Structure 1
């Protein structure tokens, strides 16, 4: 039994490395970690809560890195992040109540959406700004919805935040990335607390996955400069589709 668990955790650590690498080079690493935890045998709510440990540590590290490099817009970051918190709390509560099969079907749907979005051409519009003084009214309900989605499932939230901040606020890509990690960091705090209070966090699994992802992000930082982004996206696409098929098979829909 002990040997099986040791092998299991080694696989978890190695997969964390892979997810961390993917996250640095192409983004979307969390699209792999949640379904992987489910396939490892965790209940969907526990997998969802456990996945937040790595998300919290990685976004905290990224936010601190931006601040140390003096690349920040504190007021706007805080405002955007706080707008997502009520939705994140509601989303997390709802995710602990939905049945397993429904949640897994949603995960599969999101995975397919993310897989397809990997190959959507990026906008070449250059009319972007560094900051804004006043948020447009539409941004308030949008941030609330983003928060709900982040609390509920989180998978692919980075892509959604980047799309909305770029399209609605017209912020440039560097500013979008800065705000994105801070927004996710802040709304992950109450979300993780809810999962902890409802006993939906496997700490050992989450910490091992988090360490693996952090190391994967670290060693891939230099390697990413030599990697072809399109090739990495293809690997990510194949991995997402394979795991989606595995989840569907696990649900015995066919």
Structure 2
């Protein structure tokens, strides 16, 4: 790996971490940068998951005080997330790079559309008692489907989970976001274990990105106070459309 490639991956990690801290969607940048360096799409997807892990951990730390009151209610969702993420990651490894490449532009377009619609997909906040009466099996079933997607690809997963949790769970936004962050860690860790076992991680590229992601996450807190979110969202959407066009052209 050349010094230029290492620098580019570090910078991509920094931008990715910053974007995740401000508006979410940093996976588009990390996956795109890895793809553009010539890494096969399955390996790029798996390596991007590794690179984003520090950001998932720090998001959980931010809600550590909330876990005392949500962990019991979130346990069922965490369990189904394990099985869903496992299934999604195994489906990814079952495909070859040509098959995955054919699916990637559609996944990117869908994730980009989901990200663009994010402001209109804010969670519907319900009182916890109201949600409990109508929840029954809907919450774990919907979370199982979401976690399959998260284990398979993952871009836009956070927005998707906030929207679905808002429809199936109760409580205020911070409770929903705390549950989302917890489940995102579960999904990411399970998928990463599968990817490592399957030998589809480009460790050198991932290690070049991780410090950038960590620094970017810190810098993103500063940027969040100064950079309009609409500008960041516009950049992420542009990256998603560019990558979609790139993979359509390759196909």
Q: TM-score, normalised by structure 2?
A: 0.88
Q: Distance in 2 between matches of 1:92 and 1:126?
A: 29
How far the C-alpha of 1:123 sits from its partner, in A, is 5.8
Q: 2:112 touches 2:240 (CA, 8 Å); kept in 1?
A: yes
Q: 96, 100, 120: which is aligned to 2:97?
A: 100
Structure that is richer in helix per residue: 2
Cα distance change, pair 223–165 in 1 and its aligned pair in 2 (3 A)? same
Which residue of 1 is the match for residue 50 of structure 2?
Answer: 53
What count of residue pairs does the alignment treat as equivalent? 246
How far the C-alpha of 1:57 sits from its partner, in A, is 2.2
How far the C-alpha of 1:95 sits from its partner, in A, is 0.3
Which residue of 2 is the match for residue 157 of structure 1?
Answer: 157
Q: 2:123 touches 2:165 (CA, 8 Å); kept in 1?
A: no
Q: Cα RMSD over matched residues?
A: 2.2
How far the C-alpha of 1:158 sits from its partner, in A, is 0.9
1:118-156 deviation per Cα after TM superposition (whole angstroms, max 9, x unaligned): 443436787533686674211222122122111111121
Q: Distance in 1 between matches of 2:83 and 2:49?
A: 17
How far the C-alpha of 1:116 sits from its partner, in A, is 2.6
Which residue of 1 is the match for residue 175 of structure 2?
Answer: 175
Q: Distance in 2 between matches of 1:221 and 1:238?
A: 22
Q: Distance in 1 between matches of 2:59 and 2:104?
A: 26
Which residue of 1 is the match for residue 186 of structure 2?
Answer: 186
Cα distance change, pair 30–130 in 1 and its aligned pair in 2 (3 A)? farther
How far the C-alpha of 1:9 sits from its partner, in A, is 1.0
Which residue of 1 is the match for residue 66 of structure 2?
Answer: 71
Cα distance change, pair 15–55 in 1 and its aligned pair in 2 (3 A)? closer
Cα distance change, pair 124–93 in 1 and its aligned pair in 2 (3 A)? closer
Which residue of 1 is the match for residue 109 of structure 2?
Answer: 112
Q: 1:35 touches 1:247 (CA, 8 Å); kept in 2?
A: no
Q: Distance in 1 between matches of 2:121 and 2:164?
A: 13
Which residue of 2 is the match for residue 142 of structure 1?
Answer: 142
SS at match of 2:127: coil
SS at match of 1:96: helix
Q: 2:116 touches 2:237 (CA, 8 Å); kept in 1?
A: no
How far the C-alpha of 1:63 sits from its partner, in A, is 0.9
Unaligned stretches of 5+ in structure 1? none
SS at match of 2:94: coil
Q: Distance in 1 between matches of 2:240 and 2:205?
A: 21
Cα distance change, pair 106–129 in 1 and its aligned pair in 2 (3 A)? farther
Q: Distance in 2 between matches of 1:126 and 1:152?
A: 26
Q: TM-score, normalised by structure 1?
A: 0.87
Q: Distance in 2 between matches of 1:124 and 1:250?
A: 35
- Do residues 129 (structure 1) and 124 (structure 2) align? no
Q: 2:128 touches 2:169 (CA, 8 Å); kept in 1?
A: no
Unaligned stretches of 5+ in structure 2? none
Which residue of 1 is the match for residue 223 of structure 2?
Answer: 223
Q: 1:81 touches 1:184 (CA, 8 Å); kept in 2?
A: no
Of residues 202-211 and 116-125 in structure 1, the stretch that sits farther from structure 2 once superposed is 116-125
